[in-house]
């Protein structure tokens, strides 16, 4: 028998309740550095990372309702007060509700590659969205990316090159939940490693 998933109002943000630029101090009830994960899935990264870095405020964005509900339940059961998650379209949310230079780090692990050429326009990591990420990042802030899709990774690299005067490439550190041989410690990474797929990673820091 499957577990009944609970909603935790202290964890879940409702897109319909948002008005204007987010005040992270109000959302988390405290000030502190903000990390945002785009595509949180079932919350594996959020739970492990937030549990190990209590001084950081983590916000997850997930579109798939079934994964979002699972993540809310998971975060709530762990009693993590430095995590919030919202079910919404990431690109629209970032453009409409995130303030300039308000975020320390974006984590984007295994985004949907939309492999068919006619669907490439749906990919999150495009020039327009990358511009928005840089707008929201503080100087010194980071974007950390991992994907198993080689062609998408090449496209991501080409996009980053276009912003070469504003970012510098840095090493991508392993997350708190990663075990030996892993980088992100996410469910997708573990699945892809088991399938013997190559994992491509890149991270950049905003320099201006």
Q: Do the beta carbons of residue 28 and residue 35 sit within 8 Å?
A: no
State how beta strands 57-62 and 137-147 pair. Answer: unpaired
- Span 154-205, pLDDT tens digits: 999 999 999 999 999 999 999 999 999 999 999 899 999 999 999 999 999 9
pLDDT cut 70: percent of the chain above it: 99
Q: What are the residue numbers of the active site?
A: 112
Neighbours of 199 (CB within 10 A): 18
* Model pLDDT, residue 45: 97
Q: Do the beta carbons of residue 32 and residue 102 sit within 8 Å?
A: no
- Domains (ranges, CATH) in the chain? 30-206 (3.40.50.150)
């Amino acid at each position: 028998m499957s577990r009944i998933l609970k909603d935790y109002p202290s964890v879940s943000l409702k897109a319909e309740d948002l008005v204007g630029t987010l005040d992270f101090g109000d959302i988390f009830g405290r000030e502190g550095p903000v990390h945002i994960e785009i595509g949180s899935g079932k919350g594996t990264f959020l739970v492990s990372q937030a549990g190990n870095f209590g001084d950081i405020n983590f916000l997850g964005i997930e579109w798939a309702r079934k994964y979002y509900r699972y993540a809310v339940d998971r975060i709530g059961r762990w009693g993590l007060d430095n995590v919030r998650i919202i079910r919404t379209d990431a690109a629209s949310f970032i453009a409409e509700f995130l303030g300039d230079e308000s975020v320390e780090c974006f984590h984007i692990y295994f985004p949907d590659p939309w492999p068919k050429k006619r669907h490439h326009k749906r990919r999150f990591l495009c020039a327009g969205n990358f511009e928005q990420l840089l707008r929201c990042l503080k100087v010194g802030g980071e974007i950390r990316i991992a994907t198993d899709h080689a062609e998408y990774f090449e496209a991501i690299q080409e996009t980053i090159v276009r912003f070469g005067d504003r970012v510098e490439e840095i090493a991508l550190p392993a997350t708190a939940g990663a075990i030996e041989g892993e980088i992100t410690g996410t469910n997708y990474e573990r699945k892809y490693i088991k399938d013997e797929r190559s994992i491509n990673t890149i991270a950049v820091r905003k320099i201006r």
